[in-house]
Amino acid sequence: MSFKVKSRIWIESETGVFLGEGRVRLLKSIDECGSISEAAKDLEISYKKAWKLVKSMNESSNQEMVMKTKGGSGGGKSELTDYAREAIRFFDSINKSCWKALEEQMEGNPF
Amino acid sequence: MSFKVKSRIWIESETGVFLGEGRVRLLKSIDECGSISEAAKDLEISYKKAWKLVKSMNESSNQEMVMKTKGGSGGGKSELTDYAREAIRFFDSINKSCWKALEEQMEGNPF
């Protein structure tokens, strides 16, 4: 048998989950697509779910993460704030260093 | 707002999940209680679920994790192998060092 270590990290603020892998994926997709509704299609989740996640991120952080830039019946246009971009960078960086550290430690596994 | 980082790690072998927090909790309880059925009661899970988890761990590792020491209608007596004790120690150790590293990195968070 060979063994692999897996991990999942997430960040909570006082109001609950703020950022996790799914939320970061959604933010990146909003950044690429320029709208929440397109990002929802891209990730195969409902617009309602995507919108709720964005609302939750906006409410559980110190600054807005996703800004509406244009209204519209199809959900309009949205873009990430600089704060959100910084948050994604930080999340990806600690996530990656967590994986790396765990993989290194797994080299000494007793299994 | 203040932010906390959370993590969950698990170890997979070729046949699927081998060890995770829940499985380690079960092993520790079997160690304390001396039987799978008592451990199941302790953790408020069904005997069937506990037994399936033990079976899965035994089958996805290189050595047996839990040994039956005495049969019986109530599920008999069981104990951990040295291999399982070593596995728990390793899991707890990398889990703790993962938490510690993440907490240290969170000190530089941009949120």
Domains of chain B: 15-106 (1.10.10.10)
CA distance B68 to chain A (A): 21
Confidence of residue B71 (pLDDT cuts 50, 70, 90): confident
* Chain B interface with A: residues with Cβ < 8 Å: 1-15, 18, 60-62, 83, 86-87, 90, 93-94, 97-98, 101-102, 105-106, 109-111
Q: How confident is the model at residue B64 (pLDDT cuts 50, 70, 90)?
A: very high
Tell me the whole-structure pTM to 2 decimals: 0.89
* Per-residue confidence (pLDDT) for residue B18, from 0 to 100: 97
At A7, list the tokens.
């991990």
- Buried b vs exposed e over A73-102: b needs ≥16 C-beta within 10 Å? eebebbebeebbeebbebbeebbeebeebb
Is A13 in a helix, a strand, or coil?
A: strand
- At A71-90, the pLDDT tens digits run 766 668 999 999 999 999 99
Nearest by CB: B12 against A6, A62, A97 = A6
The mean pLDDT of A42-70, rounded to a whole number, is 94
Secondary structure (3-state) at A9? strand
Provide the β-strand partners of residue A77.
Answer: A70
